[in-house]
Amino acid sequence: MEIIRIASYHRRDFDLAVARTNPRDHDQVRGALLRAIRTMSSTLGNLELLPLEIIHEICYLIDIRSLLNFRHVNRRAQQIVRGTRGYEAVVTHALEALCVILRTNIASWFTLNDLFKALCTRDCRLCGSFGGFIFLPSFMRCCFACIREDSLPSILPYSVIKKCVKLSPSRLYSLVPTLKSLPGVYSMDEIVRKRTRIMATELVSRLSLQGEDERTRLTQSKETALLRYMATTSLPYLDTESGGVQYGICCSGCQIALEKALSSSGVGSNACTLLDKVYSYEEFMQHFHECREAQNLWELSNQGVDVAKVSESVRRGGCFNMRDVIMYFNSK
**pLDDT tens-place string over residues 88-114:** 999 999 999 999 999 999 999 999 999
Q: Which residues contact 27 (CB under 8 A, 6 or more apart)?
A: none
Based on the domain organization, do 82 and 111 belong to the same domain?
A: yes
Based on the domain organization, do 111 and 175 belong to the same domain?
A: no
- CA quadruple 181, 182, 188, 191: dihedral positive or negative? positive
Q: Domain of 196? A: 153-230
Question: Is there a domain that residue 80 lies in?
Answer: yes
**Consecutive H or E run containing 179:** strand 178-180
Q: Is 35 exposed, middle or buried (0-12, 13-18, 19+ CB in 10 A)?
A: exposed
Based on the domain organization, do 32 and 117 belong to the same domain?
A: yes
Based on the domain organization, do 116 and 37 belong to the same domain?
A: yes
- Last residue in a domain, options 169, 201, 230: 230
Based on the domain organization, do 41 and 112 belong to the same domain?
A: yes
pTM to 2 decimals?
0.89
- Give helix 95-103 / helix 112-119 axis angle, nearest 10°: 140
**Is pLDDT of 204 > 70?**
yes
**pLDDT tens-place string over residues 182-194:** 999 999 999 999 9
Q: Which residues contact 164 (CB under 8 A, 6 or more apart)?
A: 204, 209, 210, 214, 215, 217, 218
Per the structure, the count of domains in the chain is: 3
**pLDDT tens-place string over residues 51-91:** 999 999 999 999 999 999 999 999 999 999 999 999 999 99
Mean confidence (pLDDT) of the chain:
88
Based on the domain organization, do 55 and 89 belong to the same domain?
A: yes
**pLDDT tens-place string over residues 154-171:** 899 988 888 878 888 888
What is the Cα gyration radius of the chain? 22
